[in-house]
Amino acid sequence: MKNICVVGVGYVGLVTGTCFADLGNRITGVDIVEERIANLNKGILPIYEPGLEEMVKRNVNAGRLKFTTSYAEGLKDADFVFIAVGTPEGVDGEADLQYVRQAAIATAEAMTKPLIVVNKSTVPVGTGDWVADIIRQSQPSPIPFSVVSCPEFLREGSAIVDFMNPHRTVLGSLEADAADKVAQLHLPLRAPIVVTDLRTAEMIKYASNAFLATKISFINEIANICEALGADVKEVAAGMGYDGRIGKQFLDAGLGYGGSCFPKDVKALAHMASVQGKHPQLLQAVMDINGDQRKLVVNKLRELLGELDDKVVGLLGLAFKPNTDDMRDAPSLEIARALQIAGARVKGYDPVAMTMAGRMLPNVQLVDDPYELAEGCDALVVITEWNEFKNLDMERIKASMRGSAVVDGRNLYDAAQMGQLGFRYRGIGRGYNGK
């Protein structure tokens, strides 16, 4: 059993701390947001993640997990401190490190014994050295410490599975002994451990996310070409995916990537490249294609409905992906705004993101289920590929609508079947089947 302090109990910090507690360690989560800590101590989580609420309660009841606003309490017996605070997007696309700075200073001021500081937040290359300098300068008196980079690779909606069954653990440090001690924490996960220097570990995180975002934009560009040439991108992607060099994952054409990681990380990597005098043209193309996919939906609606003024459009799904309530950079936000600017009235439904949607889409009429959503709509747009949308009673949906247009932004439905039911259906890159 190790004593671990996790600074920041948002998405990454809460999942990381809770999973380490479930492995038998003693965890203290620290956050400066008093309301968040008060809610966690009542069993109220700040995020939705399948299985996390149950795991938090189990480990709190077992005495392995607790939460506080006090750095002194969090660091009292800690051998490790994981910094897992937010790094939001800055003005020019760079990562904003103000919260990392605050965490480093507070850690330096509160530590009373040697400590290994683990950067878990996604941070620009070179941040590990910067954090070490801040801690060294902020200590009231010198206390030995080490800095290790351990980037996270958690997918929202499957974060617990990803933590407990990682493809690899990446560790970066200039001190082999510190990296080894952090590696020991991860040994129960029985995954490959990659040990590098600090900057290389930080770059692995950005390069990984940028590559996955590139696969998404690649298949979306192929989808647009398929549509023009009469091919079906779903079949194209299936045929490509059997090649082990390519793989099947991240080849689903649709509305592009969103959430808290890919958009921010691709922009941040492009910014770092530009600062160094490089020309990140591939990264720029990835971002441009992703933005175009949201515009594509509105264009398809115009093809089906003509002018959008006074039309009623329902959005099936609002979160950026299934199994999360996260709406950061979700396609629904941009599509809803574009429709409203065009004069349409927008309705929306999501299985878990309704509270978040109420704050982020204040002018969208939110309803309780997909069938209420369909009532009086001229068109429906599939935004999020929730499983519950795959087997809706489409005859009932059709009967409730005022019009018959469906833009399937996730290619959930069969074009021929939708046509037989009387829908005017458009998928993404479906070629002949989408006509």
Any idea which residues carry the catalytic annotation? Answer: 261
Locate 14 and state its tokens. Answer: 């809460």
Helix (H/G/I), strand (E/B), else coil: 46: coil
- Number of Cβ within a 10 Å radius of residue 398: 17
- Give the Cα separation of 173 and 152 in Å (integer): 15
Number of C-alpha atoms within 13 angstroms, CB side, residue 275?
A: 12
DSSP-assigned states of every residue in 273-296: HHHTT---HHHHHHHHHHHHHHHH
Of the chain, the end-to-end C-alpha distance in Å amounts to 61
Torsion over CA: 28, 31, 35, 39 (sign): negative
Residue with tokens 């690899």: 168
Torsion over CA: 133, 139, 143, 145 (sign): negative
- Give the Cα separation of 147 and 169 in Å (integer): 16
Torsion over CA: 10, 15, 17, 21 (sign): positive
Q: Bridge partners of 345?
A: 312
In the sheet that holds 65-68, the strands lie side by side as: 65-68, 26-30, 3-7, 80-83, 115-119, 145-149, 169-172, 193-196
Q: Are 163 and 188 in contact (CB under 8 A)?
A: no
Dihedral angle computed from the Cα positions of residues 156, 162, 163 and 168, in that order, rounded to the nearest 10 degrees? -130
Q: Are 22 and 14 in contact (CB under 8 A)?
A: no
Number of C-alpha atoms within 13 angstroms, CB side, residue 378?
A: 17
